[in-house]
Amino acid sequence: MDQTIVSRPARSRAPAVEALLDEIAAFGPQDAYERMLPAGCYTSPEFFAFEQKEVFSRSWICVGRVEQVAAPGEWLSSEVAGEPVLIARGEDGELHAMSALCRHRGEIIPCPEKGARHARCPLHFWTYDPAGRLTGAPRMGDAARLKQLRDTVRLPQLRLELWHGFIFVNLDPEAAPLAPSLAKLEPLWAGYEATGLTAVPPVLSDTPLPWNWKVQVENFTDAYHPEFVHIGTHDFAPSVGLGDGVRFTEMAPGDNAIVRSVPMKQADGGMMRDGWGPDAAFPAIATLPAEQRSRITFAMLPPSMTMMFAAGTIAYTLIRPVGVEATLAGSDRVTYGGWLLPRSTIELPDFLERCAAVREGGSKIWAQDVPVNKAMQAAKHSRFMPDGIYAPSERTLQQFNVWLVEAYCRAAQASSR
Ligand code: FES
Ligand SMILES: [Fe+2]
């Protein structure tokens, strides 16, 4: 019974999904750059199910940070493509990712308390070690039977990869490694990591945001909107009008980072109580190159995370879709936290006040995004939804469209084989 997750056999897809995939498959080479996806990709529950089963289950999904499972006996629970998962650090120091479904009759095993040596199923108290091996199964028979179960039963093990302390899990045993797909972000890290960077992880919102996950990340990556939506909170980091303004990166095949950077009006700025400004609550990091102290880089890592490389912090948002129009997220904008910070910042005597200031500034920006996201989601139901026309500063949206079209076509082929 030692097993890994196996793809389900191909099934015929729902007609609504087939129609949307046909429409996308008919896109010409330029279409993904020039028009938006069919609105049904944002509103159809069947398409959402297809996306979860066939795209998210073949993607690297960020579930948290190494700081959350720093020592043996620390556990983390999450969901990947709708599958409950557990992450644990074994006695040998190894990190393990596994399905959280008990091998007895499938009850979902909750996250154990910190320090627990075993995960325990709540239904009949079968227990598992941090590597997912069965350790106990009450009243299942004599010692020989228990030994036989212990020798053979293990929670299905999942692919796990660490990237700069972020824990990514992939349900696809054949998935290509993550790190090469994020190579374009490597040059950004050096000046931060010299500082003993430590995470203040976010907690995911417990109330879903009422829009599709793609609306969430499109809003993040859209360089065109801050000038109009974020008047007063984002003027300090404009996409236009200063030097060369917003910059984009090219997308190579297999890239999983969609990146833009914008200048700040003054070096060493960052998030303050009123949004982006010169007196950053998190002090600028001295080891960053001048270039990074004068710009903010926004990176989307579809489909589960967004990041902001700023002068004083790397801020990140974790995203978990729970329905076609229901998305959980966690970051300084939505909840609190989601920062990688130098030790020297965390040790400041007024650190918590600084965190509160960043949270306040982030939430003011977020309060401006919420109504436009709600309205964009509502528009996806309209018969008058346009195909769209992209502005020069919407390069990242075009790149995301291409990422999606490729992912959908790949998934459609894989699941029909
Ligand atoms: S279902 Fe887990 S112990 Fe029975
Ligand atoms: Fe915004």
Domains detected in the chain: 64-163 (2.102.10.10), 179-407 (3.90.380.10)
Three-state DSSP at 339 gives: strand
Residue 241: what pLDDT? 58
Chain-centre distance for alpha carbon 304? 2
Which ligand 1 atom is nearest residue 109's CA? 2
Residue 248 host element (H or E)? strand 247-248
Q: Is 110 in the pocket of ligand 1 (CB under 6 A)?
A: no
Distance from residue 182's CA to the centre of ligand 1 (Å): 39
Distance from residue 79's CA to the centre of ligand 1 (Å): 19
- Report CA-CA distances (Å) from 93 to 88, 156, 414: 9, 19, 36
Which ligand 1 atom is nearest residue 125's CA? 3
Tokens of 359: 């949270």
Cα(176)–Cα(58) distance, integer angstroms: 9
Distance from residue 127's CA to the centre of ligand 1 (Å): 9
Q: Is 105 in the pocket of ligand 1 (CB under 6 A)?
A: yes
Cα(311)–Cα(196) distance, integer angstroms: 15
The pick from 1, 86, 105 for probing ligand 1's pocket by mutation, whose C-beta has the most ligand atoms within 8 angstroms, reads 105
Helix, strand, coil share (%) of the chain residues, nearest 5: 35, 25, 45
- C-alpha atoms less than 13 angstroms from C-alpha of 255 in its C-beta half-sphere: 19
The pick from 1, 86, 102, 154 for probing ligand 1's pocket by mutation, whose C-beta has the most ligand atoms within 8 angstroms, reads 102
Instruction: Please state whether beta strands 295-301 and 305-309 pair in parallel, antiparallel, or not at all (unpaired).
Output: antiparallel
Cα(90)–Cα(316) distance, integer angstroms: 27
Smallest CA-to-CA distance from 329 within 251, 219, 175, 191 is with: 219
Contact 352, 188 (CB under 8 A): no
Distance from residue 153's CA to the centre of ligand 1 (Å): 12
Burial level of 414, CB count in 10 A (0-12/13-18/19+)? middle
Mean pLDDT by 10 residues, the chain (417 residues): 48 88 89 94 98 95 97 96 97 96 98 96 98 98 97 98 98 97 96 91 95 98 96 93 79 95 96 97 96 97 98 98 98 96 97 98 98 98 96 94 94 77
Contact 161, 10 (CB under 8 A): no
Q: Is 123 in the pocket of ligand 1 (CB under 6 A)?
A: yes
Q: Is 102 in the pocket of ligand 1 (CB under 6 A)?
A: yes
The pick from 1, 104, 109 for probing ligand 1's pocket by mutation, whose C-beta has the most ligand atoms within 8 angstroms, reads 104
Which ligand minimizes its atom distance to the CA of 120?
1
Residue 9: what pLDDT? 47
Residue 356 host element (H or E)? helix 351-379
Identity (one letter) of the amino acid at 147? Answer: K
Q: Is 128 in the pocket of ligand 1 (CB under 6 A)?
A: no
> Atom 3, ligand 1: which residue's CA is nearest?
124
The DSSP letter of residue 362 is H
Distance from residue 417's CA to the centre of ligand 1 (Å): 34
Q: Is 25 in the pocket of ligand 1 (CB under 6 A)?
A: no
> Atom 4, ligand 1: which residue's CA is nearest?
124
* Alpha-helical runs (H) found in 92-224: 143-152, 186-193, 213-221
Q: Is 104 in the pocket of ligand 1 (CB under 6 A)?
A: yes
Length of the chain: 417
Which ligand 1 atom is nearest residue 102's CA? 2
Tokens of 91: 């006695």
Sign of CA dihedral 396, 398, 400, 402: negative
Identity (one letter) of the amino acid at 411? Answer: A
Which ligand 1 atom is nearest residue 105's CA? 1
Tokens of 58: 């073949």
Q: Is 124 in the pocket of ligand 1 (CB under 6 A)?
A: yes
Residue 28: what pLDDT? 82
Q: Which residues pair with 120 in a beta bridge?
A: 127
Q: Is 235 in the pocket of ligand 1 (CB under 6 A)?
A: no
Q: Is 209 in the pocket of ligand 1 (CB under 6 A)?
A: no
Which ligand 1 atom is nearest residue 107's CA? 1
Show Cβ contacts of residue 97 under 8 Å, excluding neighbours closer than 6 positions: 63, 85, 86, 87, 157, 158, 159, 160, 167, 169
What is the CA angle 200-67-315, rounded to 5? 35
Which ligand minimizes its atom distance to the CA of 333?
2
